[in-house]
Structure 1
């Protein structure tokens, strides 16, 4: 009788151990897939590659913005690294005469120049809720462990604040430093 109970307890223990092992391995697999899935690559033209990372950011009003960080490597090898911010159409008109302001929780600030003129085929009618900024000169200065805020100027004088999680900054730096 005691042998029967011990074998039952042992079999339940093995079952529990198997389940815990499978869950642990499964979570590790999904975590790695998520990290790898953040960066995509595409060939824009012969000899020109683009590597990009896409995330969603929220502004102070709860509106979603798409943040697309991308590294472009043209045939001449002169790499560029930009951040494109896309708001919902009709939500805001970005003031492209002002740079993107990056601030951290310690009071450090940097600016990124507007490069939106490179993305619109018709400069007389640029998309008002899309802005693009050159992050290359300042990306290595951003500290992953310090929270970051992006501040966009709107045409109506309002400032749009976008909170950037440290994992996004880390992904941008990984994208920029990769030697593809």
Structure 2
């Protein structure tokens, strides 16, 4: 039987190996960690996505979903709670890194629902920006609201890594 330090090193080595092999399928071990999922929306149509629960600076919970369909662009959908916030679609989503570099993501909310957009859900085109993102540099989102306030969401590096990985997946 292995002693405890040796067993710990062995298990740690297996974990590091598992996490460093990009060809392994994503497994949701912890819902706060970013993972890439491949889902079949309709027969023959796959979508790749990564979901993350985030809290804004006011403590409100948001769901952030980065996704790409074959022959499509990379989008980010932000979902707040109904009645808490109303997104201002006349302004872009701002992505600001810790070096104060700002990128703007254009609104693509009109493409979400046939019935029309929901005021607490926004969708943004990340495709033109993703090649400039660096997961090692902290990033936050600034989402303008019709109330005149700005929702600030800090992103974990794992989520930005997922965006880059999804964007690079073949169509």
Of the candidates 2, 19, 26, which is equivalent to residue 36 of structure 1?
26
CA offset at residue 137 of structure 1?
Answer: 0.5
Q: Which residue of 2 aligns with 1:155?
A: 146
Larger radius of gyration: 1
Considering Cα pairs closer than 8 Å and 6+ residues apart, tell me whether 1 or 2 has the greater RCO: 2
How many residue pairs are counted as aligned between the two chains? 162
Of the candidates 65, 73, 91, which is equivalent to residue 98 of structure 1?
91
Unmatched tracts of structure 1, length 5 or more: 1-10
The alignment partner of 1:68 has SS state of strand
Q: Which residue of 2 aligns with 1:110?
A: 103
TM-align CA RMSD: 2.5
Q: Which residue of 2 aligns with 1:4?
A: none
1:7-63 per-position Cα deviation (integer Å, ceiling 9, x unaligned):
xxxx8xx5335643564367558857xx82211112233543210000112211121
Q: Which residue of 1 aligns with 2:128?
A: 137
What CA distance in whole angstroms lies between the structure 2 residues aligned with 1:24 and 1:144? 23
| TM-score (norm: length of structure 1) | 0.79
Of the candidates 164, 167, 177, which is equivalent to residue 155 of structure 2?
164
The alignment partner of 1:36 has SS state of coil
| TM-score (norm: length of structure 2) | 0.82
Unmatched tracts of structure 2, length 5 or more: 28-34
